[in-house]
């Protein structure tokens, strides 16, 4: 029995080494950091401001804003814009923006967002800039990139990353999954005639993967994405998966070597306990540490979408997990 137990332990350890996130998937996920104040949010993007404190923007309102001094207590801070720019109405009747992404570059803050309607890829991504990153200070600069009903991608859920001296924007939702284009650093808009790179998809219709976010760690780029269905309260099946590549353009593969273009992806976080449908994620850096921001649907509050924050740790083999 002793030898058998020893061999079993060795085999289990070897499997865990090969499939680092599989072990976590079988365990109980850590709950998000406790937060207070205004917790309701959807598709959060968070940044630590140069002036101190944090701002979070999200789907809802005219890009809903929340402010925090400590990352734990959040206050409602109105909207990024006082009213929707007129061009938004080309893509929906209500001027309703989705899934913003905030970053800091060239001495100012950049806010990317999408305008679309449910169930169509007649969509566009826009950009605004601000000297402070605070709500009410944004100047809109119009369309960055768009998609139409004849395209095989959907121009929503933007996220930026600078790699090898070039600026890139990943995006995508359903249709054929996650895509990426190069941006002009000066304008923040798509390079004219830019190649649309394909990063991830699912083998089955409706190709339920969206909300990309790419992070550089070590020599790899890590593509986080939301899989399955959001926006159904406690019936949501959203979960966060990840793959990696040494080239920003891919191919991205999971820890088994399965390409994300073939449905691959290691599970990072899924629903557990009261925290249902974890997704709509982004990653932000705070004092040298990486944090995963996302929404979940609170099973103890009628499925209300709320802010989830977990620290990302990086294992010796390079793969991330949540703490």
Catalytic residues: 43, 210
Q: How many residues does the chain have?
A: 323
**DSSP-assigned states of every residue in 271-283:** -BTTEEEEEEEEE
CA distance 259 to 280: 21
Q: Could you tell me if 243 and 6 are in contact, meaning their C-beta atoms sit under 8 angstroms apart?
A: no
Maximum distance among all alpha carbons in the chain? Answer: 73
Per-residue b/e over 176-205, b at no fewer than 16 CB within 10 Å? Answer: bbbbbbbbeeeebbbeeebebebbbbbeee
Cα torsion through 41, 44, 49, 52, rounded to 10: 40
Q: What is the rounded end-to-end Cα distance, in angstroms, of the chain?
A: 35
CA distance 227 to 210: 7
Contacts of 73 (CB under 8 A, 6+ apart): 35, 36, 37
**Distances in whole angstroms, Cα of residue 182 to Cα of each of 172, 271, 283:** 14, 34, 20
> What is the DSSP code (8-state) at residue 315?
-
Q: Could you tell me if 109 and 103 are in contact, meaning their C-beta atoms sit under 8 angstroms apart?
A: yes
Give the three-state DSSP class for 252.
coil
Token match 């995963």: residue?
Answer: 292
């Amino acid at each position: 029995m002793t030898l058998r137990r020893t061999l079993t332990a060795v085999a289990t350890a070897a499997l865990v080494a090969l499939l680092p996130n599989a072990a976590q998937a079988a365990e109980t996920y850590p709950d998000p950091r406790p937060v207070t104040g205004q917790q309701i949010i959807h598709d959060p993007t968070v940044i630590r401001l140069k002036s101190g404190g944090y701002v979070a923007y999200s789907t809802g309102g005219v890009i809903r804003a929340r402010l925090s001094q400590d990352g734990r207590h959040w206050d409602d801070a109105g909207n990024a814009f006082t009213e929707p720019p007129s061009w938004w109405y080309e893509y929906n009747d209500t001027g309703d923006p989705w899934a913003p992404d905030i970053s800091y570059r060239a001495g100012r803050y950049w806010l990317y967002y999408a305008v679309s309607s449910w169930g169509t890829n007649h969509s566009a991504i826009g950009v605004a800039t601000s000297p402070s990153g605070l709500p009410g200070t944004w100047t809109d600069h119009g369309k960055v990139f768009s998609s139409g009903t004849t395209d095989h991608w959907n121009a929503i859920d933007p996220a930026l990353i600078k790699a090898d001296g070039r600026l890139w924007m990943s995006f995508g939702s359903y249709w054929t999954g996650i895509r990426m284009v190069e941006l002009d650093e000066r304008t923040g808009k798509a390079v004219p005639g830019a190649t649309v790179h394909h990063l991830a998809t699912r083998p089955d219709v409706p190709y339920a993967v969206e909300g990309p976010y790419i992070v550089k760690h070590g020599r790899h780029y890590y593509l986080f994405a939301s899989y399955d269905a959001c926006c159904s309260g406690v019936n949501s099946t959203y979960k966060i998966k990840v793959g990696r590549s040494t080239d920003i353009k891919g191919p991205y593969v999971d820890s088994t070597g399965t390409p994300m273009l073939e449905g691959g992806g290691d599970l990072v976080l899924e629903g557990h306990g009261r925290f249902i449908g974890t997704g709509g994620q982004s990653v932000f850096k705070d004092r040298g540490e990486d944090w995963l921001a996302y929404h979940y649907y609170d099973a103890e509050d009628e499925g209300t979408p709320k802010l989830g924050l977990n620290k990302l740790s990086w294992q010796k083999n390079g793969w991330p997990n949540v703490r």
